[in-house]
Chains A and B, each alone.
Chain A
Amino acid sequence: MSIVEGASATLAAGPEPEPPSVVMARKPLSRGRLIWNRLAHTPRFWIGAVAMGTIVLWAVLGPVFYPIDAFSRDPLNMGMGPTQLHWFGTNNIGQDIYAQTLIGLQKSLVIGLIAGPLGTLIAAIVGSVAGYLGGIVDNVLVWVINLLLVLPSFILLVILSPLFEDLSWIFLTVFLAGFSWMIMAQVIRSQTRSLRGRDFVKAARYMGVPMPTILARHIIPNLASLLIIDATLGVVAMIMAETSLSYFGFGIRAPDVSLGTLLSEGTAAAVTRPWLFVFPAGVLIATLFAVSLIGDALRDAVDPTSGVNRD
């Protein structure tokens, strides 16, 4: 697609060249449709979307169709490899790994799906306000962003982990989001600054439209695609952060189960009884792989110059 845009860029006549009205189809496509069309022609997107859909369905419906409870012990089958009865095998106290994996997957998905978009929301608000207002507000916010970037967030989360031990996993989710928005906020800020100079925003300002209305009506909608991408890739980052923390014993704690805690339990025996580690790890990787495929396909569809060689 961008080939055409590239061509039209060289065709430009005026100092501010008119976009390729002539090269577009008779009834030009809206941006949304255009992005959708590009997505629909990206195999990556379909692979990711179908895989993700399956995984979510599986996490929700899987336990319904599986007779064994995640926490009941099967004294006859302790530390067994995968069998017909226990699809992913059992751990050394006889708990079913398949059932536990599904429960863990649910928790990891929920945390990722909340924390990812939450981080994006914070980024959108901070970034657009800083970029639009400029001046002192901007300086202060940028300084806070830089400070949070310098702070080792992993260590901070670990230090704070005793706090969310007493509280529920919801707090972990909020904390994860709270340490993940800074880079995106910087991107949003610079985008907002350039949008602020765009004529349609200037026009609104000259008409006397108040600042919050301009942000909500003109700035945020024009960054929507960027935000969607960030929220998608944020899901990956958050699931990964959660599993890493839980793996080292600082995230989700018993009796809650997440993929991280499962992997943590499986590591000790990873070499001798690989199923304890490999199956949950496989599910985790498949999930993250699917989401990142979707995110990357979105990015390519939204910003064609990032994806297509135009030489």
Chain B
Amino acid sequence: MTDFQSLPAAQGTTRRSTPLLKVRNLSVTFPQRGGPPVNAVRGISYDVHEGEFLGIVGESGSGKSVSSLALMGLLPSSAQITGDIDFDGHKLLEMNDRQLSGLRGRDISMIFQDPLSALTPVYTVGDQIAEALLLHDSALSKQAARSRAIELLKVVGIPAPERRAKAFPHEFSGGMRQRAMIAMSIANDPKLIVADEPTTALDVTIQAQILEVLEKAKELTGAAVVLITHDLGVVAGHADRIAVMYAGKLVENGSTADVFSDPHMPYSIGLLRSVPNMQTAGTQRLVPLEGRPPSLTALPPGCPFAARCPIALDICREVEPLLASHGEFADGVRVPGLDLAAAGTPRDQPVDSHVAACHRSGEIASGRLTRADVFPRPEPLEMQHAVAREAQVPVLTVTDLKRHFPLTNGGLFSRRIGTVRAVDGVSFSIQPGQTLGLVGESGCGKSTTILEILEMATPQAGKILIDGTDIGTASRAERLKLRKDVQIVFQDPMAAIDPRLPIGEVIGEPLTVHGVGRAERRARVQELLDLVGLDPQMADRYPHEFSGGQRQRIGIARALATNPRLVVLDEPVSALDVSIQAGVINLLEDLKEQLGLSYLFVAHDLAIVRQIADTVAVMYLGRIVEYGPVAEVFARPRHPYTQALISAAPIPDPAIERSRTRVLLEGDLPSPTEEITGCNFRTRCPLYRLLDPAAQSLCTTDDPPLVTHDGVDAACHHVDRNRIVDSALVGAP
């Protein structure tokens, strides 16, 4: 919908005008009570030109947010900041808080990650936007500021802005709060907007909306944008330039096209190769990026990435490489860039071209080291269990499962005022050795569905069969036995493991319930640790000694302890850093083949579902709206909601990302208490809006049943009509 080409983007990496923002050799150190200081940012330099869109990409702890807070002057007073930040003629690091307040919100504004905590809970949204105006324009009347705030809310697409301006932040949904934040940030026509992970806390459909609003805001104000994110897909479609950060350093900086198509730094290569791509997912194995980033308190000498780098040389462990241009040197000899000599010290170079910090970037740039050489794709595992597909009892059968919650008001006497239909008639089944992907936005009922299965209580309505046994009628002893067969891996590996128990006990806990002796438990734990790729010697260590990825492996080992038949994977990689995800996904795939497991894989990341699942079920407001083989659903989604979900998911490839048009859903997920007659998706349906009134009336009156269309079930009256959105889909070949 947005025409990217018309934006005043910085096409030229050759432009030599004075940059709007010039960051030189910025370092941030946090002293710690009782420990060595944390070197969060270690001498980074970059430029942002007027109207430019810079994406700063990095994993948690890479220093990307700290560096941006430093330029806003919003770091804690204990932070030690050195270097130079030149913004529009102001030396930001030399200004005091009062002087900076004059700039903040007027010339530079910021959008934060978590829109709930970023708004003051006790003031109305309208007042908070008006505040931004009044602070910088003393001549403005309160009344004028208020009406301008309403205008701004309208600009960012908030319906009924007059009424909404009087609402408090807690009455807004996450997406609306983020829109309000954007309204606040553009209130004074800033020259630079810094957006720190603005969409990370949001669902993918809302993320697409917010990025669209951000683009619009940029267009309206002509501001430059610095977008900080961990998601390569998000920057691929929007940024002009990309800066990659690792362990407090800028390791690569170049135009978006250059960085994506021709990365010079092994870390960027690994990152790009490890991210599952919705186009290729499911056809090949992911490329894992092993290891974890180094500690910022005790950095080893040399390149911080050396320990994880497959092509590291001896020099990489001794000398930290500087950011330098490599593209010009076809012979691969590493000569400090010619253009650098003119700019003085190498650290003070104008960061304008494609630069990377690697001793072997020359070889990579020249093509002597290909990306596949650096991070080769692992071979797929041999199938060990020939799974007979026919005549097997499904591991799990869910039939017409319902879970409704009463909604009471807080009056003098609690009165039931409605029903939350969290799960409203869901049916699916999983064959042995198969993976079902369950996808949908947060609040669609996928968590409640798996909760119903795992709690093993008699469902309100419907049936849950595990290995053919109905848990509704099973005895206590039978249920305990069934618990052996169904295990879970949670989303957040930090929360899923009791921090006070050594991991051996964590992994062995399921066995204690079934009366397995100590010695036997110990042996099994060793076996399991080995199975998930951890050292069996580590059984006595405590969880805090492990990284996120390792902890997720511990969680997987615990789930496997009782030799289950079905493992419920509740967003098992979404809390992990991008570079860690591929390794865990590969492990899950291997285990499935080795042990003949079945998975119920709950996720919001469609690329990962496409990678790992055999069948996919798309949920919306407590219902399954589309259900079928994964390849078929992704290639030709029948339901408009599935189409919208697929189209909203960003793809880490700028060429595809910029050429495709999106199906944007309007508004937020309706509250599950709302009574919607007919099809419950019609309030947001892009297809519905295009239908003629006669066809629409069918949607408003009749609730569409799940009907099979060429092997895929879809709950839509107009499956035959939705060609209109076909062009929006990814990879439509």
Q: Is there a contact between chains A and B in the complex with CB atoms less than 8 Å apart?
A: yes
Residues of chain B with a CB closer than 8 A to A218's CB? 498
Is B500's beta carbon under 8 Å from chain A?
A: yes
Contacts of A137 in B (CB 8 A): none
B586 contacts the other chain (CB 8 A): no
Which residue of chain A has the shortest Cβ distance to B77 in the bound complex?
A311
Distance between B680 CB and nearest chain A CB, rounded to angstroms: 26
> Closest chain A residue to B500 by CB distance?
A221
**Shortest distance from the beta carbon of B71 to any chain A beta carbon, whole Å:** 13
A197 → B minimal CB distance (Å): 10
Do residues B575 and A18 form an inter-chain contact, with CB atoms below 8 A? Answer: yes
B297 at the interface (CB under 8 A from A): yes
Cβ-based interface call for B139 (8 A): no
Q: How far is the CA of A211 from the CA of B500 in the complex (A)?
A: 18
Q: Which residues in A have their C-beta under 8 angstroms from that of B230?
A: 13-14
Q: Write the A21-40 contact mask toward B (1 if CB under 8 angstroms, else 0).
A: 11111111111000001101
- Which residues of A from 216 to 254 have beta carbons under 8 Å from B? 217-218, 221-222
Whether B77 pairs with A10 at a CB distance below 8 angstroms is no
Evaluate contact between A207 and B509: CB separation under 8 angstroms. yes
B545 & A199 in contact (Cβ 8 Å cutoff): no
- B368 an interface residue at 8 Å Cβ cutoff? no
A10 and B69 contact, Cβ closer than 8 Å, known pairs A21-B292, A24-B295, A199-B490: yes
Stretch in B157-165, B194-202, B322-330, B594-602 with 4+ CB within 8 Å of A: B194-202
| Contact yes or no, A18 B498, CB < 8 A | no
Q: Are B76 and A30 in contact (CB under 8 A)?
A: no
Nearest-neighbour CB distance to chain B for A273, whole angstroms, equals 48
Report the minimum CB–CB distance from B570 to chain A (whole Å). 9
Inter-chain contacts of A4 with B (CB < 8 A): 30, 32, 38
- Report Cα–Cα, A310/B197, bound state, in Å: 20
Cβ–Cβ contact A199 & B492, under 8 A? yes
Which residues of chain B have C-beta atoms less than 8 A from A274's C-beta?
none
CA distance A208 to B512 in the complex (A): 10
- Is residue A77 contacting chain B, with contact meaning CB distance below 8 A? no
Q: Which residue of B lies closest to A224 (CB)?
A: B500
CB-CB under 8 A from B40, the residues of chain A are 7, 11, 23
Which residues from A are CB-within-8-Å of B64? 11
Q: Is A166 an interface residue (CB 8 A)?
A: no
**Does any Cβ of B come within 8 Å of A209's Cβ?**
yes
A85 part of interface (Cβ distance < 8 Å): no
Contacts of A7 in B (CB 8 A): 30, 38, 40, 66, 76, 79
Given contacts A7-B40, A11-B63, is CB(A26)–CB(B295) below 8 Å? yes
Q: How far is the CB of A242 from chain B (nearest CB, A)?
A: 34
A129 to chain B, nearest CB (A): 19
**Binding site secondary structure of chain B:** loop
Number of interface residues, chain A, beta carbon within 8 A: 50
Instruction: Find residues 553-598 in chain B having any chain A CB closer than 8 Å to their own CB.
Output: 558, 574-578
Tell me if A15 counts as interface (CB < 8 A to partner B). yes
Does the CB pair A25–B298 fall under 8 Å? yes
Contact of B297 among A23, A30, A198, A222 (CB under 8 A): A23
Contact partners of A61 in chain B: CB under 8 A: none
Min distance, Cβ B730 to any Cβ of chain A, angstroms: 23
Which single member of A13, A30, A204 contacts B60 (CB below 8 Å)?
A13
Q: Check: B434 CB closer than 8 A to any chain A CB.
A: no
Query: In the complex the two chains form, is A38's CB within 8 Å of B61's CB?
Result: no
- CB pair A18–B495 under 8 Å, yes or no, is no
In the bound complex, CA of A23 to CA of B60 (Å): 10
Closest CB in chain B relative to A203 CB, distance in Å: 6
A162: Cβ under 8 A from any B Cβ: no
Measured between alpha carbons, how far is A6 from B69 in the docked complex, in Å? 12
Chain A residues near B548 (CB, 8 Å)? 18, 21
Q: Which residues of A contact B488 (CB under 8 A)?
A: 202-203, 206
Contacts of B59 in A (CB 8 A): 13
B576 to chain A, nearest CB (A): 7
CB proximity to B under 8 Å, residues A1-59: 1, 3-4, 6-8, 10-31, 37-38, 40-41
Given contacts A18-B60, A41-B34, A11 and B500 within 8 Å (CB-CB)? no
Contact A14 B496 (CB under 8 A): no
Provide the residues of chain A in CB contact with B492, threshold 8 Å: 16, 199
What residue in chain A is nearest B202 (Cβ atoms)? A15
Q: How far is the CA of A253 from the CA of B200 in the complex (A)?
A: 66
Q: Is the CB of B576 within 8 A of A12?
A: no
Residues of B within 8 A of A208 (CB): 479-480, 483, 513
User: Which one of B495, B547, B576 has the highest number of Cβ atoms from chain A below 10 Å of its Cβ?
Assistant: B495
Looking at the assembled complex, report how far the CB atom of A299 sits from the nearest CB atom of chain B, in whole angstroms: 15
- Partner of B510 from the list A23, A202, A207 (CB cut-off 8 Å) is A207
Is A200 among interface residues, defined by CB-CB distance under 8 A? yes
B112 to chain A, nearest CB (A): 8
A22-B60 contact given A10-B69, A31-B499, CB 8 Å threshold: yes
**Cβ distance B480 to chain A, nearest Cβ, rounded Å:** 5
Q: How far is the CB of A209 from chain B (nearest CB, A)?
A: 6
Q: How far is the CA of A15 from the CA of B206 in the complex (A)?
A: 14
Whether B60 lies near A14 (C-beta < 8 A) is yes
Tell me whether B36 is interfacial, beta carbon within 8 Å: yes
As a 0/1 sequence over residues 59 to 86 of chain A, the CB contacts with chain B under 8 angstroms (1 = contact) are 0000000000000000000000000000
Quick check: is B491 within 8 A (CB to CB) of the other chain?
Answer: yes
Q: Give the chain A neighbours of B63 by CB distance below 8 A.
A: 11
Q: List residues 11-38 of chain B with CB under 8 A from any CB of chain A.
A: 30-36, 38
Is B78 among interface residues, defined by CB-CB distance under 8 A?
A: yes
Which residues, 105 to 134 on B, are CB-close (under 8 Å) to A? Answer: 113
Contact B495 A198 (CB under 8 A): yes
Whether the Cβ atoms of A18 and B35 lie closer than 8 Å is: no
Does A25 contact B36, Cβ atoms closer than 8 Å?
yes
- Asked, given contacts A22-B60, A22-B296, A198-B495, whether A13 binds B578 with beta carbons under 8 Å apart, the answer is yes
A200 adjacent to B497 (CB under 8 Å): yes
Q: How far is the CB of A169 from chain B (nearest CB, A)?
A: 37
Quick check: B576 and A18 within 8 Å, CB to CB? yes
Residue of A with least CB distance to B513: A208
> How far, in whole Å, are A198 and B490 apart by their CA atoms in the complex?
10
CB distance from B670 to the nearest CB of A (A): 22
A17 and chain B: residue at smallest CB distance: B60
Q: What are 12 A-to-B residue pairs whose CB atoms are below 8 Å?
A: A15-B200, A16-B491, A16-B492, A18-B576, A23-B297, A25-B295, A30-B542, A30-B544, A41-B33, A203-B488, A203-B509, A206-B455
Known: A7-B66, A41-B34, A203-B509. 12 other contacts (CB 8 A): A4-B32, A4-B38, A7-B38, A11-B63, A21-B547, A22-B294, A25-B298, A30-B544, A31-B500, A200-B506, A222-B498, A311-B77
8 nearest A-B residue pairs (beta carbon): A22-B61, A13-B230, A16-B575, A199-B496, A199-B490, A13-B60, A18-B548, A16-B492
